[in-house]
C-alpha cells in the first residue's frame, strides 16, 4: 500500500523500496517478542485453564507440543517480519517498508501529518520500547512504527512533527506565511530540544495515585465491577457448581476489570504545555503520550458520574481531529470544579459552561423519556453550543458554532403526538442530539444556531486560522 500523493514529484513507483530496506532504519530486534507474547500468553492461559483439554480432549503432551510449535512458528514469523521492516526519512516524505508474506509499501508526506502519539504497552514498557503512531489528514489508516527504543521513538516523533510544521520550506526554516511565535528564535535550542523540553512548559494538571484510586472507587466503574464479580460468582458457584480453582479465581478477579481499567488508564495523568502543543501523558501498565497541536481541538466533553456530582468531580475530554475520525484525549480525569474552570479558561475563556446549559427540555418530555428527562438541558455562548444530558453519568458537550456542518430537526411518531422535536448537530467528527424540545423551541434553536454559525464563519474568515484557545495557552 502506498500514498501516491506523498511527495511532490515522487510517486510510489519512483521509490527504490529495496534501497529503503537496505539503507533505512530498522525497528528494534525485540519487536517480535512484543508482538507475539500476547498470543503465547493466550495459549498458555488456555492450557492452564484446561480449555484445550476439555474442548479437544488433548493430553498434556499434545498441549505442550502445541505451545512449543506456536513459540517456534511465532519466532520465525517475527524474525522474518523484523528483517523486512525498515523506514526512511527523505526530503519529501516518510517511507515505511514492512511485511514478508504480505508486503506493504507506504509513503507519507510530511504535510499530511496532523499529530503523533507515543504508546508503550506493558510488554514494550518492560523492555524499554515504544511505538510512534502518526495521525494523517483525510485517512483513517494513519501509520504506526513499532517498536523502537523510547529515546529513538521520541526523536523520530519530534523530527516528523518538525518536518510537518516546515513542509514546503527547507527543514529548520519557518514558512514566511506562518506566525513567528510558532517557531523558535535563532537563540533558542534546536527543534529536537525545544519540542520535547517539558520543563520549559507550564504544568496544568497532575493526578496523584490516591486521587485516581479514590475517583475510581466512586465511579460507575466500581458499579460495573461489582456486577461483574457477582455474575461470575453466581455462574461459578450456583449455575455450574464449580469449586475453588485457578479458573474460578481468574474469573472472579476478571470481574474487577472496569475498575482496574479506570485506574490503569488514568494513573499519573499529567498535562503540560510545550512549544509543539499540549502534552498529555498517562498510564500505569501501558503508557501513552499525546501531543495535541494547535487547531486540532474540535470540541470538549465534560462527564460527571452520579457519585462524582456529590464530590464535585469532573472529567474533561478534548475531541481531537485524527484523520477521518475524532480521538478523545482526557486532560482531566477526576478534577475539582475549580480545576475544571481553570483548565477550561485556558483552553478557551469564552466557554462559560455553567452559565450556558440552562434551558431545560419541555415538561411533556417526561412522557418520551421518563428517566432522566430533567437532566436534558442546552444553551449557547457567543462562540459555542452547549448540550447537557444523562442521569447516571451527566455529560456536557461543547461544540464551536464555526465547526458545525449540518443540523437536522427530527420528529418521531411519539414526539409528533406530544408536540416535541429533537435537534441533531453534526461536525466533521462528532454528532450531538438536543432531545425532546418543544417544537417551537426546536425551530427557534435551529434559526439561532444558523445565525451564530454564519456570524462565526464570517469572523473566522477574517481572523488567524490558528485555534484561539490553544494559541493563547501556548503563549
Maximum CA extent, the chain: 75
Which cell numbers in the block locate residue 131? Answer: 511505538
240 and 335 in a single domain? The answer is no
Which cell numbers in the block locate residue 152? Answer: 529513538
258 within a domain of the structure (yes/no): yes
- Range of 456's domain? 294-474
Determine the Cα–Cα distance for residues 451 and 445; give it in Å rounded to an integer: 10
258 and 299 in a single domain? The answer is no
Domain termination site, one of 265, 282, 314:
265
Q: Residue 294: which pLDDT band, with cuts at 50, 70 and 90?
A: low
Q: Which residues of 129-152 are buried (b: 16+ CB within 10 A; e: fewer)?
A: bbbbbbbbeebeebbebbbbebeb
Higher pLDDT, 55 or 63: 63
Average pLDDT over residues 336-350: 78
348 and 411 in a single domain? The answer is yes
435 within a domain of the structure (yes/no): yes
Q: Supply the mean pLDDT for the chain.
A: 76
Average pLDDT over residues 291-316: 84
176 within a domain of the structure (yes/no): no
450 and 305 in a single domain? The answer is yes
315 and 445 in a single domain? The answer is yes
Average pLDDT over residues 29-40: 79
336 and 427 in a single domain? The answer is yes
Q: The pTM is what?
A: 0.72
312 within a domain of the structure (yes/no): yes
Q: Which residues contact 449 (CB under 8 A, 6 or more apart)?
A: 380, 385, 401, 404, 407, 425
> What's the length of the chain?
475
443 and 398 in a single domain? The answer is yes
pLDDT digits (tens, 9 = 90+) for 400-444: 888 888 899 999 999 999 999 999 998 876 789 999 999 999 999
pLDDT digits (tens, 9 = 90+) for 184-198: 333 333 333 323 344
214 within a domain of the structure (yes/no): yes
351 and 213 in a single domain? The answer is no
pLDDT digits (tens, 9 = 90+) for 91-146: 878 888 887 787 788 888 888 887 788 999 888 888 899 999 887 755 556 788 98
User: What's the structural domain count of the chain?
Assistant: 2
337 within a domain of the structure (yes/no): yes
335 and 430 in a single domain? The answer is yes
Amino acid at each position: 500500500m502506498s500514498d501516491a500523493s506523498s511527495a511532490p514529484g515522487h510517486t510510489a513507483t519512483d521509490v527504490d523500496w529495496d534501497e529503503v530496506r537496505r539503507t533505512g532504519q530498522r525497528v528494534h530486534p525485540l519487536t517480535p517478542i512484543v508482538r507475539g507474547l500476547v498470543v503465547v500468553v493466550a495459549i498458555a492461559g488456555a492450557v492452564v485453564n484446561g480449555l484445550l483439554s476439555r474442548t479437544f480432549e488433548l493430553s498434556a503432551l499434545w498441549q505442550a507440543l502445541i505451545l512449543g510449535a506456536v513459540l517456534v512458528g511465532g519466532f520465525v514469523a517475527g524474525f522474518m517480519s523484523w528483517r523486512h521492516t525498515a523506514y526512511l526519512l527523505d526530503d519529501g516524505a516518510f517511507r515505511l517498508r514492512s511485511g514478508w508474506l504480505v508486503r506493504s509499501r507506504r509513503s507519507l508526506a510530511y504535510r499530511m501529518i496532523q499529530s503523533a502519539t507515543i504508546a508503550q504497552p506493558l510488554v514494550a514498557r518492560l523492555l524499554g520500547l515504544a511505538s510512534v503512531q502518526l495521525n494523517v489528514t483525510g485517512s483513517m489508516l494513519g501509520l504506526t512504527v513499532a517498536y523502537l527504543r523510547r529515546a529513538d521513538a521520541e526523536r523520530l516523533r519530534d523530527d516528523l512533527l518538525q518536518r510537518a510544521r516546515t513542509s514546503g520550506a527547507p527543514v529548520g526554516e519557518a514558512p514566511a506565511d506562518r506566525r513567528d511565535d510558532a517557531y523558535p528564535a535563532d537563540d533558542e535550542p534546536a527543534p529536537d530540544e525545544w519540542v520535547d523540553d517539558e520543563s520549559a512548559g507550564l504544568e496544568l494538571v497532575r493526578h496523584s495515585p490516591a486521587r485516581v484510586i479514590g475517583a475510581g472507587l466512586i465511579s460507575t466503574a466500581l458499579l460495573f465491577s461489582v456486577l461483574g464479580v457477582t455474575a461470575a460468582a453466581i455462574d461459578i458457584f450456583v449455575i455450574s457448581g464449580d469449586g475453588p480453582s485457578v479458573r474460578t479465581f481468574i474469573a472472579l478477579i476478571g470481574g474487577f476489570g472496569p475498575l482496574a481499567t479506570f485506574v490503569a488508564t488514568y494513573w499519573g495523568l499529567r498535562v503540560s504545555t510545550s512549544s509543539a502543543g499540549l502534552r498529555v501523558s498517562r498510564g500505569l501498565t501501558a503508557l501513552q503520550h499525546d501531543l495535541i497541536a494547535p487547531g486540532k481541538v474540535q470540541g470538549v466533553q465534560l462527564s460527571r458520574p452520579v457519585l462524582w456530582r456529590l464530590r464535585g468531580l469532573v472529567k474533561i475530554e478534548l475531541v481531537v481531529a485524527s484523520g477521518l475520525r475524532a480521538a478523545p484525549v482526557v486532560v482531566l480525569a477526576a478534577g475539582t470544579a475549580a480545576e475544571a474552570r481553570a483548565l477550561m479558561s485556558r483552553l478557551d475563556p469564552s466557554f462559560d459552561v455553567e452559565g450556558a446549559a440552562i434551558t431545560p427540555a419541555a415538561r411533556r418530555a417526561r412522557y418520551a423519556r421518563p428517566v432522566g428527562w430533567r437532566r436534558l438541558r442546552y444553551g449557547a455562548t457567543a462562540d459555542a453550543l452547549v448540550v447537557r444530558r444523562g442521569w447516571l453519568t451527566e455529560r456536557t458537550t461543547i461544540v464551536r458554532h464555526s465547526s458545525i456542518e449540518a443540523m437536522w430537526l427530527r420528529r418521531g411518531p411519539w414526539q409528533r403526538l406530544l408536540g416535541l422535536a429533537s435537534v441533531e448537530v453534526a461536525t466533521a467528527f462528532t454528532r450531538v442530539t438536543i432531545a425532546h424540545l418543544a417544537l417551537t423551541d426546536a425551530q427557534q434553536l435551529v434559526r439561532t444556531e444558523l445565525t451564530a454559525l454564519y456570524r462565526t464563519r464570517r469572523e473566522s474568515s477574517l481572523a488567524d486560522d490558528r485555534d484561539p484557545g490553544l494559541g493563547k495557552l501556548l503563549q
